[in-house]
Structure 1
Amino acid sequence: MLTITNLQVYYDRAVEALRDASLEVRPGQIVALLGSNGAGKSTVLKSVCGVLYPEDGEILGGTITHDGISLTGFAPHEIVRRGIAQVPEGRRLFDKLTVEENLLMGGYSRPAGEVSAGLDQVFALFPAVKQHRTRVSGYLSGGQQQMVAIGRALMARPRLLLLDEPSLGLAPQIIAEIFEAIRRLRDEQGVTVLLVEQNAQLALSVANYGYIMERGRVVLDGEPAKLLSNEDVKEFYLGMGAGSGQRRSMREVKHYKRRKRWLS
């Protein structure tokens, strides 16, 4: 489905964002891409979608292939037509348009006869937003906006959905609803998902496989059970002391970077 090999990305040809980052997303899976702020997770998604240019980002090495075809040189709209859609961090709805108008924008690449069916599918997945279909999206709650943002991406009928921090700033109940919808997309519709999250435990609870990034490169990967049982992951990403089951204080973990074995 998606293979990224030794990807190198710079901003302004000076700031290294990704250094030899490699990962694989197999069909029908949810793959979690984890890491702290600045690790390069969002840059991976922008690279796949061809939208580095607004921030003067540039791929200077490595390859990105989708179904065996290199995405190098494809424009963003061409990547969407290939079956890849992204939900960016922060939702980024057209806040002066209604819910339905936002969704229709997401379906611009689909034949007119399929748009109505697409709306029905989105409203079936997110019943909470159906009643607000004529409401201006800027007046929705954060959770409702996130549902609309995911629905807008789904209107393109992607086979690969890229989600950037879908839990950010949301209440626990809303997060649970959104992650249940992500599970359903995989299990019921066969949508493949690359999920960027800082909440490692939440992401691994739905994922088939996970990668952890630090300083622009992948430093650890494995199935969720393997990652959740790893003492370094427990301490540095789940906030748990090694084997203690107790949260670590900030004073205890503030020097974590020099203690991480994988960064030596």
Structure 2
Amino acid sequence: MLALTNVQIVYDNTIEAVREVSLTLGKGRIVALLGANGAGKSTTLKAISGVLYPEDGEIKAGQISFEGRPLAGMAPDRIVKQGIVMVPEGRRLFDQLTVEENLLMGGYTRSAADSRRGLERAYALFPRLTQKRTTVSGYLSGGEQQMVAIGRALMSEPKVLMLDEPTLGLAPQICEEIFGIITRLRHDSGVSILLVEQNAQAALAVADEGYIMENGRIVLDGPADKLLRNEDVREFYLGFSEGGTRKSMREVKHYKRRKRWLS
């Protein structure tokens, strides 16, 4: 469905942010893209969405294709019409607009009838937003803003939904709710989800496959349950030693310097 093949992304013609990245996202699947800050995860999502240009980023090599058609060079609005939508890190709502106005902005390419149906689906998925529909978005909690951001993305009925750090800065209970929504979306609508997330354990728990990025390249990939059992992933990303006890930050920092997959 969505495939990246040996993609290289460069900023300002000098900084290589992504190097020979290949990954696939099948229909109705959830793929987790994991890695530390600066690994190239968000850049990868921006390349798929066609929004590298504001930061002088450019795909220098490789190919991004969706349903067999290349996406490179396609305008962002056309990529949305193809069925690929991204929820960016930090939500980025229109703070001065109401919840419903923000949702309607996500359906700007749809007919009025489609937008009405989209609103009904969004409120069914996020019942707490029903009572907040006339509330200015800037006054919502972080969790409610994230729900609006996801609901806005769903207004265009995407085939692929890309989520960039959807639980960043949210309370544990809200994080659990967001991950539950991600699972429900795949189950109820069959949408494919590419999930960038710092909470590796929670992300792999809902994903079918996972990819781990380091310094702009994929260093490890496989079924999510297999990655959860992988000794390297458990030590570095989940903070557990072989005996199952949580490692100290000092030990994690030491392990960061000796990761076996980079040796």
Give the TM-score category using the shorter length: over 0.9
Aligned residues: 263
**For residues 254 and 193 of structure 1, what CA distance do their matches in structure 2 show?**
31
- Say yes or no: does 1:198 pair with 2:198: yes
CA displacement at 1:257 relative to structure 2 = 3.8
Deviations 1:53-92 (A, max 9, x none): 1111111111000000000121000000000000000000
Q: Which residue of 2 aligns with 1:134?
A: 134
Check whether the contact 1:257–1:263 (CA below 8 A) recurs between aligned residues. Answer: no
For residues 7 and 16 of structure 2, the distance between their equivalents in structure 1, rounded to whole angstroms, comes to: 11
Instruction: Work out the CA distance in 2 between the residues paired with 1:115 and 1:251.
Output: 52
Gaps of 5+ in 1: none
CA shift, 1:8, in A, is 0.5
Aligned mates of 2:206, 2:258 — CA distance in 1: 29
Q: Which amino acid aligns with 2:19?
A: R
User: How far does residue 253 in structure 1 lie from its aligned partner after superposition?
Assistant: 2.2
Q: Which amino acid aligns with 1:141?
A: S
> Does the CA-based 8 Å contact 2:48-2:71 persist in structure 1?
yes
How far is 1:17 from its partner? 0.5
| Alpha-carbon distance between aligned partners in 1 of 2:91 and 2:257, rounded to the nearest angstrom | 35
Mapping for residues 60-71 of structure 1, pairs under 5 Å: 60-71=60-71
Is this contact kept in 2: 1:42–1:164, CA < 8 A?
yes
Q: TM-score, normalised by structure 2?
A: 0.98
- Structural RMSD (CA): 0.8
Which residue in the other structure is 1:27 paired with? 27
2:102 maps to 102
* 2:257 is the alignment partner of 1:258: yes
Q: Normalising to structure 1: TM-score of the pair?
A: 0.98
Q: Which stretch of the first structure deviates more once superposed, 253-262 or 109-118?
A: 253-262
Matches of 1:210 and 1:152, distance apart in 2: 26
Give 1:202 deviation, angstroms: 0.4
Is 1:211 the equivalent of 2:172?
no
Give the deviation of 1:258 after TM superposition: 3.5
Where do residues 106-125 of structure 1 align in structure 2 (5 Å cutoff)? 106-125=106-125
Contact 1:8-1:18 at 8 Å conserved across structures: yes
Letter of the aligned partner of 2:16 in structure 1? E
- Mapped pair 1:84 → 2:78: no
Give 1:158 deviation, angstroms. Answer: 0.2
2:234 matches 1:234 = yes
Do 1:185 and 1:191's aligned partners in 2 also have CA atoms closer than 8 Å?
yes
